[in-house]
Chains A and B, each alone.
Chain A
Amino acid sequence: MSEILAQFMLDGHRIAFEPGQTILQAALAAGIYIPHLCAHPEFTPHGSCKLCTVMVNGRNGSACTIKAMPGQDVLSDNPDLNSRRRTLLQMLFAEGNHFCPGCEKSGNCQLQALAYDLEMFDPHFAQFFPAREADGTHPEAFLDFNRCIMCELCVRASRDVDGKNVFAIAGRGRDTHIIVNSPSGKLGDSAFSIHDKAAQVCPVGAILPKEVGFVRPIGERLYDHDTIAEVALREEAGARSGEVT
């Protein structure tokens, strides 16, 4: 009896996978980057940003939630899918208030880096200009919901790793927003600490540490010299070999 090989095709490349891996996990492990924002190697897949949408045997699906299976023919890096991703990025930029030039996260921001990577030149859609709050009540961190992209990584990190449930997502539709679990609804009287996992996972500048603003100048930041793909693959390789990146 011949054994079925744990392999699938990704843009013509043969990718080996370990049973249980998602398409995204297997691709990253094989050194191939698929754009994503809400997926994070340390957390269960969420599947909400839809940046990682790929075609699997002719059907659309999220690479971060679909399990790798033998016989899959996956398309990812092609003009059609990248154009859809660019539109999704433009939607995120139009939905929130993203002022890259004045943002402390500039250069370290995954949304910005992905926009460069996918050659997004403008937000295209009319800006929503939502009225969103900033919260400076915590001694160690700012919350600026203007930049939030609803990836829920902070929600997941605070719940699953920190065991604190500091953040939750409320509202619906375009009124979806992050709320803070504290008597005042402010971060200052929540159980949040800068050492929490939740303080480190924000892909954009919605959760920013205080007192370190512009310590590293723009031009010397994470994505200033390397693309998001290079950084993600390096981190992936580091995580696999047990190094701290």
Chain B
Amino acid sequence: MASIDSALEPILARYGREPSALLQILRDAQEACDWISPTVRAEVARALDIPATQIDCLTRFYAHLYDEPRGRYRVLFSDNITDRMADAPALMARMLEQFGLEPGEVSPDGLLSIATTSCTGMCDQGPALLVNNRAVTRMTPERIDAISALIRARAPLDDWPSHFFEVHDNIRRADILLGATCASGEAIRAALARGRDGMFAEMKKSNLRGRGGAGFTTAVKWEACRDAPGEARFVICNADEGEPGTFKDRVLLQSYAGRVFEGMAIAGYVTGANKGFLYLRGEYSYLRAPLEAKLAEMRRENLLGDAICGDAGFSFDIMIHMGAGAYICGEETALIESLEGKAGKPRIRPPFPATYGYLGQPTVVNNVETLCKATEIAIQGGAFYAGQGTQQSTGTKILSVSGDCERPGLYEYPFGVSIAQVLEDCGAEDAFAVQIGGAAGNCLAPHEFDRCIAFEDVPTAGAFMVFGQGRDMFETALNFANFFEHESCGFCTPCRVGTAIVARMMNKIDAGHGARYELNELNRLDVLLRTSSHCGLGQSATMALRDMMQKFAPAFERRLSLKDFEPGFDLDAALAEARALTGRDDEAAHLGADS
């Protein structure tokens, strides 16, 4: 195809013009062309022989793909509550003012746009932002000024001071995983020595449960995949760490990548899969090059590829697949859809991925931390592992601690640690609330701080956001409501419309127009979302809100107007268009907001 733009040709060639690689192609195309222009859209559709609407389905679904120009520098401020508590809104306002822009607006010269994005996973070193998918941490007013100057000078990102892009591990408490040093290949060799059945038996003995939040027993998942009929099997590492307040996988991928990949290989060995995917969230794009280098190194060491460690019957290799800004892709079936080059919408379950996953084949989907745990079990054995933690929650758990504490970062504990212990260790003695498990988790008040991190008490994928005295929990609930409205995939009615109504009601209360009526409605919506939504996103979207309304009622009540009810329809706002058309904005053209 001679008409293919020279920038697109190498990208299309890299992915073999495979329609299932559409998301990857569009990401790379955007990197090269700044946006998915009508020309790019048409060329890609022609090259892949797909309807152009298939491209629209992706560009309009993934937040970090653009079908309209967004500027050469696309600045996105992380909008998690921890970033906000560290003054992100003021920093963003400062930058907007410097360029005379509104949020989301593109500068007239096409130089830049500034907007917000969901949590970028830098909560321990925020406020953070992304510039063209690259993370910049520890933002200060001075750093904003420096970035504005670099953008004005049109400096390429590679020429920016490298310390802007530094991402620290911040490991504060290491236990059996973060504290161990393990030689490259040690876990794979240990698994091979145990044999497929032997390794599986150790997994069973360990009673390891998934670290992504749901806590499903890993051995059961592997067994179902191993025993399901299929032409091929796949292992997927879910590194779409999008839950606000979680960043442990970022550290594991940055400093323990070998263990993650060895865990995948072991899963492949036990289940009979010989292909693996690492689904890496777009916000962690900076990790891609080092991860690719690690994969190349492991191939050289014969830890990946054919006849791994000399075992002729064991071939396994790993490909990295990038996300593009969609929280829903952390849901395993949405992730698989995304991996197949589609919009990330959760499938109907059952069938579960273990029997019907990637390309309809048996597939294991495990969290990054879970796969690291498999390497521990290969080396140390299941019994050793089962001896740690509690009876129903064996082993250790890594917590991502952020918010109002002296030492934010990673804390690895045996399961069963109390909330109070974690608070003491991270320097948050005056904590007033802790949000566990991210925006989709539970909010605990001080009288619950003796509860324990464990599947049988307070389950978590690892987020641990601390709120100190004086924090307004309504602000947190509002932030979460806006987050879920933005991240709902739109597939099912209760979540698509329900998250939007919840956000509207929360914003109405925030604007001073809420009454007791809204609180009652929010409670009613909570029940509907929980019971009727298609997947975990909708089912858990109001979990924190419910907790906060119950445990921090004054934060909500003091926002309410004294009236029983105020209409949701704002007549004065509805007249804005009429005012614009008539060119009037005088007092008489307004209805008093308080009348």
Q: Are A168 and B57 in contact (CB under 8 A)?
A: yes
A3 within 8 A of B: no
B380 within 8 A of A: no
- Identify the stretch in B5-13, B294-302, B439-447, B528-536 within 8 Å (CB) of chain A at 4 or more residues: B528-536
Residue-wise interface mask of A (38-57) relative to B, using a CB-CB cutoff of 8 A (1 in contact, 0 not): 00000001011111010000
Q: Are B531 and A53 in contact (CB under 8 A)?
A: yes
Q: How many interface contacts (CB-CB < 8 Å) are there between A and B?
A: 109
Once bound together, how far apart are the Cα atoms of A48 and B524, in whole Å?
Answer: 20
Residue count of chain B within 8 Å CB distance of chain A: 38
**What is the distance, in angstroms, from A22's C-beta to the closest C-beta of chain B?**
11
Q: Are B494 and A171 in contact (CB under 8 A)?
A: no
Q: Are A47 and B53 in contact (CB under 8 A)?
A: no
Q: Are B54 and A49 in contact (CB under 8 A)?
A: no
Q: Are A65 and B488 in contact (CB under 8 A)?
A: no
Once bound together, how far apart are the Cα atoms of A175 and B61, in whole Å?
Answer: 9
Give residues 434-488 of B contacting A (CB, 8 Å).
Answer: 485-488
Give residues 465-520 of B contacting A (CB, 8 Å).
Answer: 485-494, 496-501, 504
Give residues 143-157 of A contacting B (CB, 8 Å).
Answer: 149-150
List residues of chain B with CB within 8 A of the CB of A125. Answer: 501, 568
Known A60-B531, A170-B57, A173-B486; judge A47-B492 contact (CB<8 A): yes
Q: Are A165 and B497 in contact (CB under 8 A)?
A: no
List residues of chain B with CB within 8 A of the CB of A62. Answer: 348, 534
List residues of chain B with CB within 8 A of the CB of A180. Answer: 53
Once bound together, how far apart are the Cα atoms of A172 and B337, in whole Å?
Answer: 14
A194 within 8 A of B: no
Q: Are B488 and A127 in contact (CB under 8 A)?
A: no
A91 within 8 A of B: yes
**What is the distance, in angstroms, from A198's C-beta to the closest C-beta of chain B?**
14
Residue-wise interface mask of A (107-129) relative to B, using a CB-CB cutoff of 8 A (1 in contact, 0 not): 00000000000000000011110
Q: Are B490 and A173 in contact (CB under 8 A)?
A: yes
B326 within 8 A of A: yes
List residues of chain A with CB within 8 A of the CB of B524. Answer: 87
List residues of chain B with CB within 8 A of the CB of A175. Answer: 60, 490
List residues of chain A with CB within 8 A of the CB of B61. Answer: 170-172
Q: Are B343 and A172 in contact (CB under 8 A)?
A: yes
Q: Are A174 and B490 in contact (CB under 8 A)?
A: yes
Once bound together, how far apart are the Cα atoms of A87 and B524, in whole Å?
Answer: 10
| CB nearest to A125 among chain B residues | B501
**What is the distance, in angstroms, from B49's C-beta to the closest C-beta of chain A?**
12
A231 within 8 A of B: no
List residues of chain A with CB within 8 A of the CB of B328. Answer: 172
List residues of chain A with CB within 8 A of the CB of B60. Answer: 170-172, 175
**What is the distance, in angstroms, from B23's C-beta to the closest C-beta of chain A?**
14
Most buried by B among A48, A84, A150: A48
A92 within 8 A of B: yes
List residues of chain B with CB within 8 A of the CB of A179. Answer: 53, 56-57
Q: Are B501 and A94 in contact (CB under 8 A)?
A: yes
Q: Are B485 and A168 in contact (CB under 8 A)?
A: no
Q: Are A150 and B490 in contact (CB under 8 A)?
A: yes
Chain B interface SS verdict (over half) = helix
**What is the distance, in angstroms, from B513's C-beta to the closest C-beta of chain A?**
11
B161 within 8 A of A: no
B387 within 8 A of A: no
Residue-wise interface mask of B (217-247) relative to A, using a CB-CB cutoff of 8 A (1 in contact, 0 not): 0000000000000000000000000000000
Residue-wise interface mask of B (516-553) relative to A, using a CB-CB cutoff of 8 A (1 in contact, 0 not): 00000000100010011110000000000000000000
Residue-wise interface mask of B (556-580) relative to A, using a CB-CB cutoff of 8 A (1 in contact, 0 not): 0000000000011100000000000
A222 within 8 A of B: no
Other-chain contact of A47, B348, B497, B567 (Cβ < 8 Å): B348
Q: Are B53 and A126 in contact (CB under 8 A)?
A: no
B51 within 8 A of A: yes
Q: Are A165 and B53 in contact (CB under 8 A)?
A: yes
List residues of chain A with CB within 8 A of the CB of B568. Answer: 125-126
A88 within 8 A of B: yes
Q: Are A84 and B531 in contact (CB under 8 A)?
A: yes
A100 within 8 A of B: no
Other-chain contact of A50, B56, B485, B492, B504 (Cβ < 8 Å): B492
List residues of chain A with CB within 8 A of the CB of B491. Answer: 48, 176
A181 within 8 A of B: yes
| CB nearest to B527 among chain A residues | A84
Once bound together, how far apart are the Cα atoms of A95 and B496, in whole Å?
Answer: 9
Give residues 176-202 of A contacting B (CB, 8 Å).
Answer: 176, 179-181
List residues of chain A with CB within 8 A of the CB of B493. Answer: 48-51, 88, 91-92, 149-150
| CB nearest to A127 among chain B residues | B569
Once bound together, how far apart are the Cα atoms of A165 and B212, in whole Å?
Answer: 36
Most buried by B among A49, A50, A84: A50
Known A60-B531, A173-B488, A181-B52; judge A150-B569 contact (CB<8 A): no
Q: Are B326 and A172 in contact (CB under 8 A)?
A: yes
Once bound together, how far apart are the Cα atoms of A60 and B128, in whole Å?
Answer: 40
List residues of chain A with CB within 8 A of the CB of B492. Answer: 47-50
Most buried by A among B54, B490, B493, B524: B493
Known A127-B569, A171-B490; judge A95-B497 contact (CB<8 A): yes
Known A171-B61, A172-B60; judge A91-B488 contact (CB<8 A): no
Once bound together, how far apart are the Cα atoms of A62 and B491, in whole Å?
Answer: 14
Once bound together, how far apart are the Cα atoms of A88 and B538, in whole Å?
Answer: 14
Once bound together, how far apart are the Cα atoms of A172 and B53, in whole Å?
Answer: 15
List residues of chain A with CB within 8 A of the CB of B504. Answer: 126
A169 within 8 A of B: yes
Other-chain contact of A53, B488, B490, B532, B567 (Cβ < 8 Å): B532
Other-chain contact of A168, B51, B496, B567, B569 (Cβ < 8 Å): B51
Once bound together, how far apart are the Cα atoms of A49 and B532, in whole Å?
Answer: 10
List residues of chain A with CB within 8 A of the CB of B532. Answer: 50, 53, 60, 84, 88
List residues of chain B with CB within 8 A of the CB of A92. Answer: 493, 497
Q: Are A172 and B488 in contact (CB under 8 A)?
A: yes
Most buried by B among A127, A170, A175, A179: A170
Once bound together, how far apart are the Cα atoms of A87 and B61, in whole Å?
Answer: 26
List residues of chain A with CB within 8 A of the CB of B485. Answer: 173-174
Once bound together, how far apart are the Cα atoms of A60 and B493, in whole Å?
Answer: 15
**What is the distance, in angstroms, from B357's C-beta to the closest C-beta of chain A?**
18
Once bound together, how far apart are the Cα atoms of A23 and B497, in whole Å?
Answer: 26
* 28 chain-A/chain-B pairs, Cβ below 8 angstroms: A45-B348, A48-B492, A49-B493, A50-B493, A62-B534, A88-B493, A91-B498, A95-B497, A95-B500, A126-B504, A150-B493, A150-B496, A165-B51, A168-B53, A168-B54, A168-B56, A169-B57, A170-B56, A170-B343, A172-B60, A172-B326, A172-B328, A173-B486, A173-B487, A173-B500, A176-B491, A181-B51, A181-B53
5 nearest A-B pairs in the assembled complex, by CB-CB distance: A126-B568, A176-B490, A91-B497, A181-B53, A168-B53
* Further 7 A-B residue pairs, CB within 8 A, beyond A92-B493, A95-B500, A179-B57: A47-B348, A50-B493, A65-B348, A172-B489, A175-B60, A175-B490, A176-B496
